[in-house]
Amino acid sequence: MSTCAFRAMGTDWWVSSDGPGVGEVAGWVSEIERSLSRFIGGSSLCRLNADRIVADGRVAEVTRVALALRQLTDGAFDPCLGATLAALGYDRSFEQIGVAQPRRVVSELRVEIERDVVALRGSGALDLGGIAKGWAVDHVHDRLVRAGGRRVLVDGGGDMRGSGAPWPIGVGVDRAILLADGGVATSSAAHRAWSTPSGARMHHIVDPGTGEPARNNVVTAVVCAPTAALADGLATALVARPDRVLGRLQGLGVSALIEDEQGRWWSTDGWQEAA
Amino acid sequence: MTTTGAVVVATSASSGTMTDRALRERLVSASVALVTALTTAASWWTVAGELAPPPPPRPLVAAADPLAALRPAPAPRRRVVVVRRSRAS
């Protein structure tokens, strides 16, 4: 087994595989970040939001997945909230935010995709932050498997995809699952939070119904799904609007562990922990 | 439909079963009855609206807790040595 660790997409990565290619992973992720980041000037996503059109197969693919996920979650996951997030203060890499004064913004964004070309209509900005890391984890995992890896685990800041072995993975507090062939991701309103000048608490998961940071009974969601991208997006959607998402999980072969505001943990059907 | 109805009325009048005058009187009577009924109803509703207290506001129904359909997660069984930890980032 060979492993590597590096920092990219604003978080820590750790990769393990019994096949070749591990040494190249940091370069792959860096390339993905240059396409999908909302904070790297000149990234394909930044150019799309500025010029309203871009030709980038990777942006087109991730956007397709994001829009499908929006439909799947009845809009609880919404990649069209980029302008809203920026107006709330999340307009730079999270480490640089500190205190931010929220603004009001009206966003009415439509996305059109034709092969590798993505075009934006109306006002607003596309944000792939709720799914890009999971998608990147899947991408790296699949490349390592294609290169010959049979036991592969990719950890992109807590979004994971594993195959070939039951990988014991810690989730929540003092809990563990065995990740065999699939993905797991965690989203929480308790992380990536900042304050307004008046002291109001903001965080990065927006309720698409209000345009405000989600405020409901769900604080943290851990999702096990066939892919990391699906787990990533659904975990975000569960924190944003649990009422729209919980009823849909079982049909997707997805299970979840949820922490409420009182610190109690709840699980859906199918949730299994390591014995 | 309208044309057919007119023909029927004309046929009926010409057959001698109902004269034009009788028909007009019957139509007028029906119209008067209809307008009277509507006026009475409108008056009653108006008076009722003035006298009756406004309907109470509909009680607010608390949004159902989406977690109610879930089960409490089982307590962690034992310490498991993990290779990585999924965390929010």
Q: How many domains does chain A have?
A: 1
In a domain, residue A162? The reply is yes
Q: Where are the alpha helices (DSSP H) in A12-156?
A: 25-36, 44-51, 57-72, 82-88, 132-146
Nearest CA in chain B to A162: B84
Using a CB-CB distance cutoff of 8 angstroms, which residues of chain A are in contact with residue B73? 172, 175, 257, 265-267, 271
Beta carbons of A169 and B86 less than 8 Å apart: yes
Residue A251 structure tokens: 């049909």
- Give the count of beta carbons closer than 10 Å to the beta carbon of residue A33: 18
Q: What is the pLDDT of residues B26-58, one digit of tens each?
A: 666 666 666 556 555 655 554 554 555 555 555
The answer to whether the CB atoms of A168 and B81 lie below 8 A apart is yes
Residue at A274 is within a domain: no
Q: Indicate the residue of A167, A185, A266 with minimum beta-carbon distance to B71.
A: A266
Distance from the Cα of A158 to chain B's closest Cα (Å) equals 4
Is A187 within the bounds of a domain? yes
Q: What span, in angstroms and rounded, lies between the C-alpha atoms of A128 and A46? A: 11
Looking up tokens 């109001």 gives A200
The verdict on a CB contact (< 8 Å) between A160 and B66 is no
Q: Mark yes or no for CB contact B76/A187 under 8 Å.
A: no
Contact B85 A11 (CB under 8 A): no
B-contacting residues of A 115-174, CB under 8 Å? 133, 153, 155, 157-160, 167-172, 174
Residue pair B54/A152 in contact by the 8 Å Cβ criterion: no
Q: How confident is the model at residue A99 (pLDDT cuts 50, 70, 90)?
A: confident
Residues 205..234 of A with a Cβ closer than 8 Å to B: which? 216-218, 220, 222
- What would the pLDDT profile of A74-95 be if each residue is shown by its tens digit? 999 999 999 898 888 888 887 7
pLDDT, tens digit (0-9, with 9 covering 90-100), for A4-22? 999 999 999 999 999 999 9
Query: Is A183 contained in some domain?
Result: yes
User: C-alpha angle A248/A249/A252, rounded to 5°?
Assistant: 100
CB A156 within 8 A of CB A138: no
User: A42: alpha, beta or left, given left = phi > 0 and alpha = psi -120 to 50?
Assistant: left
Domain hosting residue A111, numbered range: 2-267
Q: Do A170 and B84 count as a contact with CB atoms less than 8 A apart?
A: yes
Note whether residue A275 is domain-resident.
Answer: no
Q: What is the CATH number of the domain that holds A20?
A: 3.10.520.10
Q: What is the pTM of this model?
A: 0.80
- CB contacts < 8 A (A, B): 100
Question: Cβ of A14 under 8 Å from any chain B Cβ?
Answer: yes
CB A139, CB A35: distance < 8 Å: no
Q: Is residue A272 part of a domain?
A: no
State the complex-level ipTM: 0.86
Based on its alpha-carbon atoms, the radius of gyration of chain A, rounded to whole angstroms, reads 18
Contact B70 A14 (CB under 8 A): no
Residue A273 lies in a domain: no
User: Residues A142, A143, A148, A150: is their CA dihedral positive or negative?
Assistant: negative
Residue A114, domain member (yes or no): yes
Residues A207-253: tens digit of each pLDDT: 998 988 999 999 999 999 999 999 999 999 999 999 999 999 988 88
